[in-house]
Structure 1
Amino acid sequence: MRIDLHAHSTASDGTDTPAELVRNAAAAGLDVVALTDHDTTRGHAEAVAALPEGLTLVAGAELSCRLDGVSMHLLAYLFDPEEPELLAERELIRDDRVPRARSMVAKLQGLGVPVTWEQVARIAGDGSVGRPHVASALVELGVVGSVSEAFGGDWLADGGRVYVPKHETNPFDAIRLVKAAGGVTVLAHPAAAKRGRTVPEAAIAELATAGLDGIEVDHMEHEPATRARLRGLAAELGLLATGSSDYHGSRKTCVLGEYTTDPEVYGEITRRATGAFPVPGTGGA
């Protein structure tokens, strides 16, 4: 059983539509895929409608959080998407994305980069605009060679020349909100140092005490030694250890199913969730 619990669509910063994502997941030989767009569940209905037979969809979202000045992401699975408090917080984060992206465009223009808001908005399409769309604009203009380069310290990384902060939820509050909505929480790519500062292990221990369910151990931005260390940390703290591709379509080099989650861990996630349930495909449109 092959399970990938972290993937994005055009509802946020992926390049596959939700329907294309589930079809590509089935073609990649996955049995389970989670749709975890940034701070939104807008792609879920389309994904469910297109679910191929034999593929199960886990509805989720990747929530933008910040702790002691460090940006971090919290994967939330199988929560009630209409729970009012969590919905209001997701909308607050999402609504702050447009002014933030406009400010990054203005900073780039101040550096002499001929990027425009219209270009970034075109790349984002109907998705929640974010740094990856600005990064793609820089690639289009030939300013950088890749999206990964755009996220380097010179440009869009935390503390970079054109970085602009956005509203981000305190992770302790996010865990509380997701739990109240019947969901399960997993700290995404906790040691992805190329993105900027990461939260210390002491903070992860505090999050575990507050109800965090797991950490994403197997991820393309974690070296083998890092994965081994995180797996040990998860065992020490009584946390679930997941694996995922963090698929973004053509925007990143990772592929669906590049890293996967153990079926027993997936089973525990589904047992803990009360806000929603995995959706088995019966042959989508």
Structure 2
Amino acid sequence: MRIDLHTHSTQSDGTEAPAQLMRSAADAGLDVVALTDHDTTRGWGEAARAVREVGVALVPGIEISCAVDGISVHLLGYLVDPLDAALLGELEHARASRRTRAQRMVERLAPDTGLTWADVQEQFGAETTIGRPHIADALVGRGVVASRDEAFASYLASGSKYHVSHYAPDPAFATRLVRAAGGVPVMAHPFAGARGRVVDDSVIERMADAGLAGLEVHHRDHSDAEVGAGLGLAERLGLLVTGSSDYHGTGKQNELGENTTSPEVFEAIVAEATSGTQVIRP
């Protein structure tokens, strides 16, 4: 079985609608794919309706944007209860903050780039979780930069004068929220230093104490040394080890199935879920 447990659709910062993402997963030869849009579960229904057509099982999930000491931490939550009040409240808080943050960044960018909020609005739908990638796509559309990567390396870098932070919960708190919602929390790309600062092991230990189930060790943004360190940390803390693509369609170079999770780990994740949300199988 080929299992990819980290992908994004147009409900957040991916470029493919949920149903198209499922078709792409089939084309890539996957047997199981998780839809883990940022701070939303709104793509689950469309993706689930495509399961029988494409023959790929769907793991409903989310990716929660967290932060500690100014460092970004991303937490994957698999098979959560999408109606859990505490989790929903936190996700809506984050989504509202993201929108306000994006508007403020556009205000800062406008004098130097001519960018408008209308330009950015053309990049997402009414229910989309808004993020910097949508601003990047608007900058590409205006001809300011050639790609998302160029935008993130310049105008949208965390240290740039245009950057604005947004609300993000503490990762241990978010881990407890996922567990309370019956889901299974796995830390996404925890050692990706190329993206910016990463947390030290003490934060991951605190997340483990809060109920963290696993680490996404096999990821394109991890070096061989970081993979080795991740495997050692997972063993020490008794955590599952996953591998995923972090696919965003044409928004990033990541390819579906470029890293995968073993069937044994996948079944362990499914067994830990208590929400009643199930894997949608063909």
Which category describes the TM-score, using the shorter chain as reference length? over 0.9
User: 1:185-235, CA deviations, whole angstroms, 9 ceiling, x for partnerless residues?
Assistant: 011111122222111122112211221111111111112221122111111
| CA distance, structure 1, for counterparts of residue 54 and residue 47 of structure 2 | 13
Amino acid at match of 2:82: P
Equivalent residue, structure 2, for 1:217: 217
Q: Give TM-score scaled by structure 2 length.
A: 0.95
Indicate yes or no: 2:145 matched with 1:144.
yes
Structure 1 spans left out of the alignment, 5+ residues: none
Equivalent residue, structure 1, for 2:270: 270
Per the TM alignment, residue 178 of structure 1 is displaced from its structure 2 partner at its CA by 0.8
Corresponding residue SS for 1:280: coil
- Identity over the aligned pairs, expressed in percent? 52
Contact 2:22 2:54 in 1 (8 A): no
Figure out how many residues of one structure are paired with residues of the other and give that number: 279
Contact 1:175 1:185 in 2 (8 A): yes
Equivalent residue, structure 2, for 1:166: 166
Equivalent residue, structure 1, for 2:130: 129
RMSD across aligned C-alpha pairs, in angstroms? Answer: 1.2
Contact 2:219 2:243 in 1 (8 A): yes
Contact 1:158 1:195 in 2 (8 A): no
| CA distance, structure 2, for counterparts of residue 162 and residue 256 of structure 1 | 32
Per the TM alignment, residue 263 of structure 1 is displaced from its structure 2 partner at its CA by 0.9
| CA distance, structure 2, for counterparts of residue 164 and residue 233 of structure 1 | 33
Equivalent residue, structure 1, for 2:101: 100
Contact 1:119 1:137 in 2 (8 A): yes
Corresponding residue SS for 1:176: helix
Per the TM alignment, residue 157 of structure 1 is displaced from its structure 2 partner at its CA by 2.7
Equivalent residue, structure 1, for 2:200: 200
| CA distance, structure 2, for counterparts of residue 151 and residue 201 of structure 1 | 27
| CA distance, structure 1, for counterparts of residue 147 and residue 77 of structure 2 | 29
Per the TM alignment, residue 159 of structure 1 is displaced from its structure 2 partner at its CA by 2.5
| CA distance, structure 2, for counterparts of residue 228 and residue 141 of structure 1 | 42
Indicate yes or no: 2:30 matched with 1:38.
no
Displaced runs of 4+ in structure 1, greater than 4 A?
none
Indicate yes or no: 2:235 matched with 1:248.
no
| CA distance, structure 2, for counterparts of residue 148 and residue 260 of structure 1 | 24
Corresponding residue SS for 2:113: coil
| CA distance, structure 2, for counterparts of residue 159 and residue 82 of structure 1 | 36
| CA distance, structure 2, for counterparts of residue 231 and residue 204 of structure 1 | 13
Amino acid at match of 1:74: L
